[in-house]
Structure 1
Amino acid sequence: MPSSRKKRQTPNEHIALSSSQTTNSLYIDNGDCTCVCDHWYALFWYDKRVSAMSSNQAHYNHCCKNGQVKLLISRIPPLSLVTLFDQFQFLANIRAYNNMFAMTSFGGKVDESLNIGSGPYVFKIEGLMGLNEQTLYILCTCPLQYPLLFIHGESGWSNKLRLTVDEQETDRKMTMNMFYSYQLHNRLNMYTLLLRGGRLFQQYMVDAYASIEQDRLNYLRYNQNALRNEFLQEIVRYMDRFHALKAEDRPVVIARVFHMKLLFFTKFLKTQKPFGKVLADLYTIEFQKRGLPHYHLLLWIDHPDKIKDASQLEAYISTEIPDPITKPVLYRIVTESMMHGPCGIANSKAPYSRFICPHEAAWRIFNFLTHYRNRPVQVLAIHLENMKHITFRDNEQLESVVSNEYAKATTLTKWLANNNIDANGHHLRYIDYISDYRWLNNRKHWKHRVTERTPAVGCRSFEDIKTIGGELFLTFQSACEKLGLLGDDNEWFNAIEEVVAWATATDLISLFTHMLLFCEISNPKRLFEQQWKKFESDASYTQHIVNDEN
């Protein structure tokens, strides 16, 4: 590939492209998909660049992992076939034409009931794919399943494919996910039938994602015993290049643009602060029955900006349909995109349930997050000394497992160890350590953050944890009691007092046993010593009768 074909887009060029006027002055236009990957010429939007790198150049890594994934260039198909792929009638029936030549059958149950009506076509499967090892092997030879998309017999994914990295690297395997993510990108001056396959392309994407998931399940199975819309101007302009295709024929574009809009909208809420200062945010992605994505966003707002009175809600929430005359664009968005007809018993075929569709397949193949939280949450290990869980393979020698310090390391043990060599965190409790340090999971190590706090004394061993005010307690529980971290058991004391007037001693013993088993009693021994006389009444009464008879 000659280097003259490569074209990078600078920030100034991006601004020029995104300056197109829309009917809505508040619409954020992200420009056109004209940037080119430095490595294998994949086209991408400027706002999908790797933001951590230089702002003077647009770098991208979703397509080939920074050049590590390299596949053979597709050969140009015959002109007669190119002409067919530009005809609406052919694309409307392309799945039927493909089945006439396919040498294998599709493994999933296809639900066509969704496509009865005027909505856009969606290829949808329900239930399990039912793929086995043999089917997976056949799927790796794409021409057998999709002869119209791979007319030159191009090979599919194989477990023999390797990344273009140094041979010294221990993990050079090209995964299914990497393979399909590479395939799903348009590339500069390269023609491919795959991305122009319309409804057949939808099937291929669902097939690819199902294969990825099956491959992951197979790994777990075989290693189990060894482990213990149109308002988006970017989509409209992009589809103008392919006059025979509709937006639903390119679910990859919908997924990529939606992901870009999602990131921009979240950034807008944080930087422009329409609701106030955002302290943290969380979102989750869901896919409707027709496959289109939407996301649920939760924001944590700083206390001074929080809504404190019901009258303030009107400034943020509206349940009215916008005026079609004064706000025509907003009215159109709400009525066409946020409202639907009857569902449930009134319309049992209403599209509101979730299935596997090509839009979700594209989302997951690109490894876009379905759940996101900021700030990140670090789980801190809690265990007694030498009582942590260790995962090892069944063929490992126990001596090597016990001597493996890396496997035994946890956030707790490394916190104690780090306090012996780094005095900067002595002023922090274990639960607060994350504020000044971050946990490197791949290295099992705490790394110091930049901080201006003054150090003080901290725990350096398990004995230090049990030492309160210079006194070493025998148990962690007694140390927690000294600190007032445990309850006083008054609720359990009161529970027994409430029932003692009518319950028998047997009932009381049963109640106390249930408390021990299922309740969090801070000091069971003390509770027993306070209440045991109530438990003995039956025994004492029986003993008195026996003594009197004798």
Structure 2
Amino acid sequence: MTLIKSGRLLHQYVVDVYSSIEEDRLRWHRLNQDVLRAELYSNVCDAVGKGDTDARTVGKRFILPPSFTGGPRYLIEKYHDAMAICRQFGNPDLFITMTANPNWKEIKDHLAAYGGDSPNDRPDIACRVFKMKLDQLLDDFKKGTFFAPYTAALHRIEFQKRGLPHAHILLWFGDHSRTPSPEEIDKIISAELPDKQKDPEAYELVAKHMIHGPCGLDRPQSPCMENHVCAKKFPRPFTESTSIDKSGYIIYRRRKNENANVLKDGILLDNASVIPYNIEILKKYAAHINVEWCNRTSAIKYLFKYITKGVDRATVLVEKGPDPPPSENGSDPQTSEKGKEKVKKARNEIKEYQDCRYLSACESMWRTFAYSIHKRQPSVMKLVVHLEGEHNITIKDTDNLGRVIQKPGIEKTMFTEWMVLCRTSAFARTLTYVQIPEFFTWNNSSKVWSERKRGTSIGRVVTVHPASGDRYYLRILINKVKGPRSYTELRTFNGVTYPDFKSTCCARGLLANDAEWHESMAELNTWGTPSQLREMFVTLLIYCHVANPKELWDKCWKTLSEDILYKKRKEFKHPQLEIDDAKLELYTLLELEKALRNQEHTLTDFPGMPTPDPLLLKELGNTLWQQELQYNVAEEKSRHDTQYTLLNREQLDVYQAIIESTQEDYGKLFFPYYYQAAGLPTPVSISQSI
């Protein structure tokens, strides 16, 4: 009891405990860098054939593998798994963020029974209660308590620096191709204060948990303020009905209601500051639970990147140190003897993971309790693909390579055993490689595919870069060919066996008219960000001999431009900026030109590729010009008609003179000047010059 009542000292204790646990796991990876090596099976066989049986002479070292929970490779794997679910079911329908409430009744009751001044003093209780609430919420989603039962779900646990855990949840309902109606969205999500008289409980919950701010002019020093603007775009504009904007974002109904307001920190806030929520969920769980509809947004990949962004880090200041002293012979110690090549330090992923690592008490307790930080349903299976005899095997530093290659099953992989399965199963011969996990399970110990008896799984074939040679063309084939029984059968088409997989792809017509490059871009688009898509496009232009780059550009430029509007809104500090397709294409070409110049190329090197007009780009970069163009024609006309009736005789003369000069293209300059006596109308005079 002394320990759990020690307040902030308990925080320090649990952080120290989990730091020791994590350091012990990292130490194992660090000390086994020289023990575990991976090498191609064929290369080990070649080494044995040459009489070289020393394992220290071959292989590459592991760094920090995906099996290390929370590491960068682990998160990349989870991101690709999430995008595989997206490929199967489309964009998720709902994005839900649930944050722990330290004032939950269960936490208060425990503190009352066992003592404690504040919920913040007991991170262990906060984590346990949050875990129970989260499990119950996910179970409610599965049963369809609040809306239709999900067909797929994914959630990720994160921890705020102040300590509270929160969960990002994505739900799929199945019918991803349908655009929801405003009525359907309003039925699930609200962004307005409930009526205080009709439903006082709902009003109190929304006022307590779902109000943003105050910020903006009411509180410019609020943490959400960046460059005098709220980073979360609050307060939001009022709107009479729910709609979907050009980017696919939902603009929720926020009606202006003088009677709907709440006093927070001495400032009166209204519907413009309400965070979208579901009232039934809010009533049951009494916590901050943000609910957003997201199945039409084009920024879905950033949503997945956001929930797999990795661990928190502390802020540090990095300063340039003094230059190293010259060596005795006067040479620079950072350069080689020949001259002038700098020594490149080897990358250490373990150190990178630990550097500036921020660990809160709640995260320490969560991880010490061995609670999961990432879950998905259905499961996703990563499917390896390799050329014949070129799969990776793991060997120890002290192994005799002759004995290694004689181990039973050393030559078996899930890829080779898929072809073995196709020899014995007629049903397997009707499936492509990526469809196999839906109907069969892989036993990694016995290295055998078995018929699935329950559940399902989504297959995800590992990505292969177009510069990988024949392995890239093998991957193209296995996505098209069903049920091959051997590598030879994969290379055979219409009774002719070809020498390599590229020739087979050509014979099947898979490479005609740049088909392989169109397919590469289409597949990358299922998980790659726009910047990664632009990098791939540049790679294809430079290294892959694209026959018709203009056709490839026309087909995929919109996916390359998905982040441009966001960047320009941030650059111009203009949240409501809209860009038409012609200008958007020019901006995207400019980004492509920058990437090509980094590779010492330019768009003019590729015949047929459009090039940005420098004069137009200069105009597009004018922030004031862009802001002046963003106006509502109907709104401005209504304002004009109202103010026109209020003009006096002198003002009307000025108006007519300016309009006449504009319509007749006289090009006159006008200098209005006026004076005003107390209580009298404002007379205006003008001087003109041509």
Report which of the two has the higher share of strand: 2
- The TM-score, its normalising length taken from structure 2, stands at 0.40
| Structure possessing the higher relative contact order (Cα contacts under 8 Å, 6 or more residues apart) | 2
- The TM-score, its normalising length taken from structure 1, stands at 0.50
